[in-house]
Amino acid sequence: MLTSPSFFFPLQQIMLNSLHKYEPRIHVMQVAGEQRVLSSHSFPECQFIAVTAYQNEEVRREGVEIGR
């Protein structure tokens, strides 16, 4: 998804910085009148480091074309 051309899913892309560590987190907000309840959940087991294709030696070696 992150490497897809932007015209496919323009509002569903997330820009990541290469070589930065990320941990997915979801925020759920329930709104009823003036009352708001916010719940946040993180997923440490899903941590990852973003790597661009040209920085990944295996991807370069395989000649995989990304984003086409």
What distance in Å separates the CA atoms of residue 14 and residue 50, rounded to the nearest whole number?
Answer: 12
* Between residues 11 and 64, the one the model is more confident about: 11
pLDDT digits (tens, 9 = 90+) for 15-27: 888 888 999 999 9
- Put simply, whether the predicted model's pTM sits higher than 0.75 gets the answer no
64 residue type, one letter: V
CB 5 within 8 A of CB 24: no
* Between residues 62 and 12, the one the model is more confident about: 12
